[in-house]
Structures are given as C-alpha cells and as structure tokens.
Amino acid sequence: MENYRPRVSIGLAVFNGERYLAQAIDSILAQTFTDFELILSDNASTDRTQAICRKYAAQDKRIRYYRNAENIGGANNENQTFRLSKGEFFRWAADDDVCAPELIEQCVEVLDHNPAVVLCYTMLTEIDEQGKSIKTLSQKKGMSPSPAERLRDLSAPDHNCEATYGVIRADILRKTRLEQNYTDSDRTLLCELALYGQFYEIPVPLFYKRYHARNMYLDMRARMVWFDPSLKGKIVLPYWMQFFDYLGTIQRVPLSWQEKVKCYINLLPWLRLRGKRMVKDLFLALYALIDPSGWQKRNERLYNWE
C-alpha cells in the first residue's frame, strides 16, 4: 500500500474543528468515487479534533492522520496536506464544509475528458451554522480561453475563492508556490493556476460552504494571524504582498511575452480597486510606528482569529 497512488488526494487541514469535523469527513467518505486518500492534518488542536481524527483513521485505511507539534499557521497546514499527497488529482477540504456524494466523481470525469482544464469545481450552496441553505451560487470563474482574461476574472473581488475547493491536477498545482502567508493568497493561487489552464464549473450545486462566526473576519490585516500566528500585533502589508505576488506570478509562469504583457494590463483593474487599501496599509504601518499602544488596542479588537 505504501507505493499505491490513488487517483485523488483530499487534504483536510483542521484546527479546533470538533463542531463540524465529523460531518465533513462523513461527506467525503460517502463519495461515489472511492479511489481517493484523505489526509487529515491537525494543527495542534486543543479540543476533541485529535480524538475524532484518530477514530476515523482507525476505521478507514484511506485516511492518513498527521498532527503538528505546534500551530504552523492555517495556510502552511493546508499546503502540508498537498505535500503529503500522492494522487493524480488533489482537492482541499475544510472541517466545516460538506460535499455531495457525486462531487469527486463528476469533477474527475470532466478532468479526464478535458486535458486543457486544470481545475474543476461545481456550483455551491452557502449554508449556515445549522446547515440550512442560504443561497446557491454559480461563479463561472476562470473559464475563458485567454490566460490574461482568466487572471482578470479571478483577481476580481466579486467572489470568495470557492474554486479552491475544486479538484485540481496535482502536477499543475506542484508548479505553483501554493498559498502564501497573507490574507487572500488563495485568490493569488487561483490566478496562478489559471495561467496554466482553464477552469470548469459543473452547473450543479454539489458543494456546501458553511458560514459561521469562526470563519468570518472583520479586517484583512486581522486575519493575517490565521496565516502566521507569529504576526499577531505586528505591522503587516497584505495588499502590497499580494500585488508583488501577482507580478512575480506573471513573470514566473511560462507564457509568451505578448501574453505576459496582456496579464500585466489585466492586473490594472485590481490595482484600481485596491489602490486605496494599499495606501491604507502604509498609513496603518506608520500609525503603528508612531503610536504603538494605540496599535495594540486596535489589534485586541480585531485579532480574533484562532
């Protein structure tokens, strides 16, 4: 079994997810497509997460459980699940979401029949804490034949990066920098993937994204501590980090120089929308240097992410 390579790897990174974790795992184990491995990476949880993970791992040989000795940050933990994976395709899962039984099967079928597609996702239904439907969304993001158009489409702020929960070609994902340690780096990752190929949305809602108090945030800077706990109380410039990451991504991906120029041009809408916030990044950094105590009080109000 050590040399066995499943067709699909599913990476579920979790920290103190006892409330919904069993439901999330059950929905994965109920998939009609069964040739998968499930990697559970526990980020040093202090609740019943470890016990829940060990219970499932003991019951199903497709499950591998890992526990970090300390909290390495949310994005690093998610990236770790991919680095531990063996599959031809990869999908991230969250401890509070649910997927319909046909999700993996239908996504794999699309990828098998469309070599140009690098990521396949489905329509989604937003659910609340009790699992009640809020609304159903169709994003149709990243589907243009033009890499530059896909970049402009996915860098826009009119979506919550739900496509990151699609099924991805692992060989393409391996070429990327994965998620970086700043808020909204999942958007940057989607843009990088889209420069390698098209996305495809299955027009059926097979993914249920849960929204509750623990996964909503008030401030982009405040959420930085989810990515890196050591950043709590420190000066951060998330919009600048993302901007330079976009520039580096366009430069790094193997496109013609003409296509790269189009990508840089198509980044201008993002810059127009985020320019004021980039300036705010700088003003807040200056505020932190001039009035450290006031900065600390602000952090106490906003840095509420675990």
What pairing do the DSSP bridges indicate for beta strands 63-67 and 133-137? unpaired
The count of other CB atoms within 10 Å of the CB of residue 61 is 9
Six token digits for residue 69: 């000795």
The count of other CB atoms within 10 Å of the CB of residue 88 is 17
What pairing do the DSSP bridges indicate for beta strands 63-67 and 117-127? unpaired
Tens of pLDDT, residue by residue over 175-208, are: 999 999 999 999 999 999 999 999 999 999 999 9
Domain 1-96 listed as CATH 3.30.56.10: no
Nearest CA to 91 among 153, 37, 20, 30? 37
Q: What angle do CA 139, 242, 135 make, to 5 degrees?
A: 25
Q: What is the pLDDT of residue 305?
A: 40
Angle at which helices 268-290 and 292-302 pack, to 10 degrees? 120
Q: Mention every residue, 6+ apart, whose C-beta is less than 8 A from residue 181.
A: 73, 75, 76, 224, 227, 228, 231
**HSE-up (13 A, CA, CB side) for residue 78:** 23
Point out which residues pair with 201 in neighbouring strands. Answer: 121
Q: How far apart are CA 1 and CA 185, in angstroms?
A: 35
Listed by start position, the domains of the chain span: 1-96, 224-302
Q: What is the pLDDT of residue 238?
A: 92
Asked whether the beta carbons of 123 and 206 are under 8 A apart, the reply is: yes
Asked whether the beta carbons of 207 and 160 are under 8 A apart, the reply is: no
Tens of pLDDT, residue by residue over 70-116, are: 999 999 999 999 999 999 999 999 999 999 999 999 999 999 999 99
The count of other CB atoms within 10 Å of the CB of residue 161 is 16
Pinpoint the alpha helices (H) of the chain: 21-29, 49-59, 74-83, 103-113, 147-155, 170-173, 185-196, 224-227, 238-252, 257-266, 268-290, 292-302
Q: What is the pLDDT of residue 218?
A: 60
Q: What is the pLDDT of residue 297?
A: 67
Asked whether the beta carbons of 121 and 207 are under 8 A apart, the reply is: yes
Cα 161 to the chain's mean position, in Å?
Answer: 7
Pinpoint the alpha helices (H) of 17-144: 21-29, 49-59, 74-83, 103-113
Task: Quote the pTM value.
Answer: 0.93
Six token digits for residue 127: 């659910």
Asked whether the beta carbons of 70 and 44 are under 8 A apart, the reply is: yes
Point out which residues pair with 13 in neighbouring strands. Answer: 41
Q: What is the pLDDT of residue 208?
A: 97
Rounded CA Rg of the chain: 19
Low-confidence ranges of the chain (pLDDT < 70): 1-2, 215-218, 295-306
> Which helix (H) or strand (E) segment is 37 a member of?
strand 36-42
Six token digits for residue 137: 């969304």
